[in-house]
Amino acid sequence: MMPGISGWDVYKEIMKINKKQKVLFLTAVTMQSDARGTMDKLGVSDSLTKPFEPYELTERVKLILERQ
């Protein structure tokens, strides 16, 4: 967890600057289906739950870039 600010707050600030920016959430919290639905509605590009393998992170970033 980040000290002093939530990931959602960081995401909101990023979207204020650039609504087209792609965002990959790296989270310590396992996403419930309703949280996943909220992320989809808000335009979050993808999420990855910690711990993860570096290879998996690289592949997710590649997929996001390919979708652009």
pLDDT band at 54 (very low <50, low <70, confident <90, very high): very high
Model pLDDT for residues 19-52, shown as the tens digit of each residue: 888 888 888 777 666 566 667 777 777 888 888 9
Residue 7: burial class (beta carbons within 10 Å; 0-12, 13-18, 19+): middle
Asked whether 1 and 28 are in contact (CB, 8 A), the reply is yes
Closest by CA position to 25, among listed 17, 3, 66, 64: 64
Domain boundaries of the chain, sorted by first residue: 7-67
Which fold does the domain 7-67 belong to in CATH?
Rossmann fold (3.40.50)
- pTM to 2 decimals? 0.70
pLDDT, averaged across the chain: 83
